[in-house]
Amino acid sequence: AQDLPKRDKLLKLATSYTKAIEKKRSTFANSNLTPRRARFIDSANIDADLMEQAQQILVALADLWFAGNVPGCLVKVRTKKDAHQLAENVRTREKWGDKYPSSYNERTWQSWEQYNQAHDWTKDLLNGVDTGDRDKLRQIARLEQDARFSKIPGYFSTPEPAAIEILDHLDLEAGDRVLEPSAGSGALADATLQQWPGVLVDVVERSATLQQILKLKGYALIDHDIFDLKSGDYDAIVMNPPFERGQDIEHVRHCYTLLKPGGTLVSIMAPGTFTNGQNKAKDFRSWLDRVGGQKFDLPDGSFMESGTGVSSVYIVIHKPAIRPLPGEIATPAGLKITDLPNLWKE
């Protein structure tokens, strides 16, 4: 029979989980991440997942009491502890098999048969609540934490504020093709899709660990080495290449050749590229001026949350929509440069 008081009590219990879940999810939210804190965050998120499942159980039970068709195995499930035990035991059996748990609350269930019926109902309920995406997101977050502390050469994930600033120079439409070379964990690709959900994003990445993250996120991993990619027709290229030994220079100049006419390349770069007196850096600055590129400074500390205080800049290059005639290539100052027929495709 319908029992509104029991329904209301269960809904009240379910609601009481909300603040505890939010508190767990915000563990060390405003602190610099360290390996120790990362472990605490991971543990807190596991606890929050379990609380959300217990909350879902209580809400489902409340619906059953309202409908008046509560199965006998659930009649005495009345507390947060009962719901928590059901959720926890589903996870335990998935990991260790049906011999666990070794006991049950005799106040709530009168026999193993009754407990197993409650377990099966809970399992069906939680599987019906699509936990796949949540589990995948948790796996991605764990892998991203591991990657940050594993010192992958040249890898510093682009923080969201920096990504938003450099992407502000793009104007994309659904169907446009975007490339993130040396994609890392795909921070720039993520920010691009968040702003323009209809674009098509390709990624390139060397690290097997980071490739795993990109695949879990569903990205098209088209190669592992950007220099093996000889042709492309991208509307935009978004980059945070490695800085060591002027690699950022090499990456930018190569990726420019993969940009379609009218496309835009934005890339984070080492500030030393614009002050270094070595020929490689000087040649790059001359090239950047010829193709009409611009340099912008990122705020100090932009990469602190990624584990480095190194300052950074970024460049923006808009490739001409129509190929200029040899000897008629305009510089930003409006001058003409002669004898540079290959500049457009450099």
Q: Give pLDDT tens digits for 75-88.
A: 999 899 999 989 98
- Closest-CA residue to 15 (of 49, 50, 46, 56): 56
Confidence (pLDDT) at 334: 45
Mean pLDDT calculated for residue range 147-173: 83
Does residue 158 share a domain with residue 58? no
Which domain CATH number covers 271? Answer: 3.40.50.150
Does residue 115 share a domain with residue 173? no
User: Domain count of the chain?
Assistant: 2
Does residue 312 share a domain with residue 269? yes
**For the sheet containing 234-239, what is the strand order?**
220-223, 200-204, 177-180, 234-239, 259-269, 313-318, 294-297
Mean pLDDT calculated for residue range 324-335: 48
Q: Give pLDDT tens digits for 211-246.
A: 988 998 889 888 888 999 888 889 999 999 988 888
Does residue 333 share a domain with residue 201? yes
Confidence (pLDDT) at 326: 53
Mean pLDDT calculated for residue range 245-271: 93
Structural domain that includes position 235: 154-345
Does residue 118 share a domain with residue 170? no
Mean pLDDT calculated for residue range 108-124: 86
Does residue 341 share a domain with residue 193? yes
Question: Considering the domain boundaries, does residue 247 fall inside one?
Answer: yes
Question: Considering the domain boundaries, does residue 135 fall inside one?
Answer: no
Confidence (pLDDT) at 282: 93
Does residue 325 share a domain with residue 213? yes
Structure tokens at 267: 């890339």
Q: Give me the residues paired with residue 202 across strands.
A: 179, 220
Question: Considering the domain boundaries, does residue 144 fall inside one?
Answer: no
Most confident of 30-39, 59-68, 332-341: 59-68
Does residue 66 share a domain with residue 202? no
Q: Give pLDDT tens digits for 88-99.
A: 888 888 777 766
Interacting residues of 103 by C-beta distance below 8 A, sequence separation 6+: none
Spatial contact of 329 and 337, defined as CB atoms under 8 Å apart: yes
Question: Considering the domain boundaries, does residue 139 fall inside one?
Answer: no
Mean pLDDT check: name the lowest of 103-117, 120-134, 257-271, 322-336. Answer: 322-336
Give 148-155's long-range contacts (Cβ < 8 A, gap of 24+). 148/33, 148/38, 148/306, 148/307, 149/35, 149/38, 149/307, 150/209, 152/207, 152/209, 152/210, 153/242, 153/244, 154/182, 154/241, 154/242, 154/243, 154/244, 154/247, 155/184, 155/207, 155/210, 155/242
With a threshold of 0.75, does the pTM exceed it? no
| pLDDT higher at 98 or 131 | 98
Confidence (pLDDT) at 333: 46
In the predicted structure, residue 329 carries a pLDDT above the cut 70: no
Does residue 206 share a domain with residue 67? no
Spatial contact of 238 and 166, defined as CB atoms under 8 Å apart: yes
Question: Considering the domain boundaries, does residue 173 fall inside one?
Answer: yes
> Confidence class of residue 328 from pLDDT cuts 50, 70 and 90?
very low
Does residue 161 share a domain with residue 125? no
Mean pLDDT check: name the lowest of 86-95, 168-177, 198-207. Answer: 86-95
Q: What is the mean pLDDT of the chain?
A: 82
Question: Considering the domain boundaries, does residue 84 fall inside one?
Answer: yes
Does residue 216 share a domain with residue 103? no
Pairing of strands 329-330, 177-180: unpaired
Does residue 195 share a domain with residue 337? yes
Question: Considering the domain boundaries, does residue 265 fall inside one?
Answer: yes
Mean pLDDT calculated for residue range 280-295: 93
Question: Considering the domain boundaries, does residue 138 fall inside one?
Answer: no
Q: Rounded to the nearest 10 degrees, what angle do helices 80-96 and 112-128 cross at?
A: 80
